[in-house]
Structure 1
């Protein structure tokens, strides 16, 4: 979900269970200002606000907040009930316990658990019946809502230590994972999960019954817009670094181009749960993966373009990010 748009593959996944008979799906897209034919173009993207409205309409059409991906239906109002239940929590940790407990009583075929350790808090999802196989979209969408709801409750972008999935990476994984900006991403795990430092469990709940009433009127739009607003400064940093082609991309030079003091930029990134080096390196990874997939440029040339003085340094960093060497990644992407 880079910037204010979202990959067409995510849109198609969200609508997979909306019937095509009678033109229901097509009409829904057109009503929300999305040309159905445009979604077929490689690299097509959709504005986040249009996608949020589309999700709302699809949930109403299917009468299912899980869009047909669970074992049973989650009728409209399920999320509202959970949100109101979590609002009375003492702090974020208590709210997370309530959320995981609530969804264990919802008959959707998924078991949610919250594990609070001394250092990390892990929220996990797995099929209640091992024989059930669910679409990646079910896990991806629910973890997005879970994370953004935690950030909304506390008015704080919580840094994610790790996120993992019990399936292989998808064509839009890079786009999706960018929402969380995790330090680590794992695939083919035993279960899907998200993990952050347990010190954030003590964050107070910042919202009231009045503000939650406004949020649940259009939760999709509120949570998507929240992500965009929280990521604002990180995105500005990305834009400056990309324009400068990774030349003079220290925090001092970037802050100068943004007309603020480096300490101010560092503080604003911290408020978003980000660090300058992490933002720069995530951008490097995204561009490196695109170059390796879509061009025949040598690994040495790609390393130079991304600001590395040595190819070996780029290769080490890429392997640390993906667990694959640049060449192995390119070979697997063919």
Structure 2
């Protein structure tokens, strides 16, 4: 099953073009997507985004107060790539995005074990709909994670609007982070210790990434969509409650399908079962380190490692530091 972008997101994206006087049906047709909004695969959605943005010469698709001309994101990627660390990169991103003086003010602040990336509406400025916020949060988080060679862990995501009809998709869009709606602004809580990670991409690579936007941002990063999402929920549930990793046969029984069918369907989504288990382990370990006082040895046990040393090696490969270094940071509660 291919990853699907809900119809509501396509409709909201096209609303920006309509605001600028461009016929949404004509844009759908130009993108080769018929004449009626529908659920889209990632490649189809990318076609639609590129058709809208190129037609309007606006990387923000008409959703913000003023156009953001084509090339702006590539310039930002070039600027951000000069940072030494992920934290410095986020600081540069905030500075650069504020230069646009468009619909939002952007900020970065420390709060306990998190660094908070926030976007607050400027009074009187146009924000067409929630896609104007969803796209910014996703694109910035994914770009920054890619620059650091990281998976973009999010500890919490919040939004200054009520939960939209497609909120069920937010679990995959925002990497299984806890979600809050009807807040005073919108933003992401990012693990503070990850801010120490070095940026590993060159300026040329960063510019090339920006020019592929939004393709890379909407490709699955952690197997949290379709059947992969169902599998990850089962693995997470058993690991969290019993401290063990389920095998594919057990997951297949829970989903009422033979393991060979499960393996074949996951392969069609471009996902390997072992990768799902690794991702679930990592997310649980980060949560436990950031929100509890249990020992590293106990966390190793709770995340299904036979010994603490194996867990420490795995955690270092995920985050670039040991579990104790993560916890001893002055940003951790």
RMSD across aligned C-alpha pairs, in angstroms? 3.5
CA distance in 1, matches of 2:101, 2:92: 16
Say whether residues 1:119 and 2:113 are aligned partners: yes
CA distance in 2, matches of 1:200, 1:82: 21
Q: Structure 1 unaligned runs (5+)?
A: 279-334
Question: Which structure 2 residues correspond to residues 78-117 of structure 1 after superposition, within 5 A?
Answer: 78-117=72-111
CA distance in 1, matches of 2:20, 2:75: 32
Quick one: structure 1 residues 200 and 25, their matched pair in 2 at CA, closer, same or farther if it must change by over 3 Å?
Answer: same
8 Å Cα contact 1:240-1:254 kept in structure 2: no
Q: 1:47 aligns with which of 41, 44, 48?
A: 41
Shift of 1:28: 2.5
**Partner SS, residue 16 of structure 1:** helix
Match for residue 219 of structure 1? 213
Quick one: structure 1 residues 218 and 24, their matched pair in 2 at CA, closer, same or farther if it must change by over 3 Å?
Answer: farther
8 Å Cα contact 1:30-1:36 kept in structure 2: yes
8 Å Cα contact 1:122-1:195 kept in structure 2: yes
Say whether residues 1:36 and 2:45 are aligned partners: no
Shift of 1:33: 2.9
**Partner SS, residue 17 of structure 1:** helix
**Partner SS, residue 34 of structure 1:** coil
Say whether residues 1:66 and 2:60 are aligned partners: yes
Say whether residues 1:188 and 2:182 are aligned partners: yes
8 Å Cα contact 2:3-2:226 kept in structure 1: no
8 Å Cα contact 1:169-1:187 kept in structure 2: yes
8 Å Cα contact 1:234-1:269 kept in structure 2: no
Match for residue 196 of structure 2? 202
Scaled by the length of structure 2, the TM-score of the pair is 0.68
How many pairs does the alignment contain? 262
8 Å Cα contact 2:64-2:126 kept in structure 1: no
CA distance in 2, matches of 1:217, 1:104: 21
Shift of 1:45: 1.3
Match for residue 269 of structure 1? 279
Match for residue 175 of structure 1? 169
Q: 1:157 aligns with which of 130, 151, 154?
A: 151
Larger mean CA deviation between 250-259 and 211-220 belongs to 250-259
**Partner SS, residue 160 of structure 1:** coil
8 Å Cα contact 2:155-2:189 kept in structure 1: yes
Quick one: structure 1 residues 207 and 236, their matched pair in 2 at CA, closer, same or farther if it must change by over 3 Å?
Answer: farther
Shift of 1:17: 2.4
Shift of 1:201: 0.1
CA distance in 2, matches of 1:21, 1:65: 13
CA distance in 1, matches of 2:203, 2:96: 19
**Partner SS, residue 173 of structure 2:** coil
8 Å Cα contact 2:149-2:200 kept in structure 1: yes
Shift of 1:139: 1.1
Between 1 and 2, higher relative CO (CA 8 Å, sep ≥ 6) is seen in 2
Match for residue 232 of structure 1? 223
Q: Structure 2 unaligned runs (5+)?
A: 251-258, 264-272, 288-333
Tell me the alpha carbon deviations over residues 275-320 of structure 1, each in whole angstroms, 9 at most, x when there is no partner.
Answer: 49x9xxxxxxxxxxxxxxxxxxxxxxxxxxxxxxxxxxxxxxxxxx
CA distance in 2, matches of 1:242, 1:90: 36
Quick one: structure 1 residues 138 and 177, their matched pair in 2 at CA, closer, same or farther if it must change by over 3 Å?
Answer: farther
Shift of 1:213: 3.4
Scaled by the length of structure 1, the TM-score of the pair is 0.68
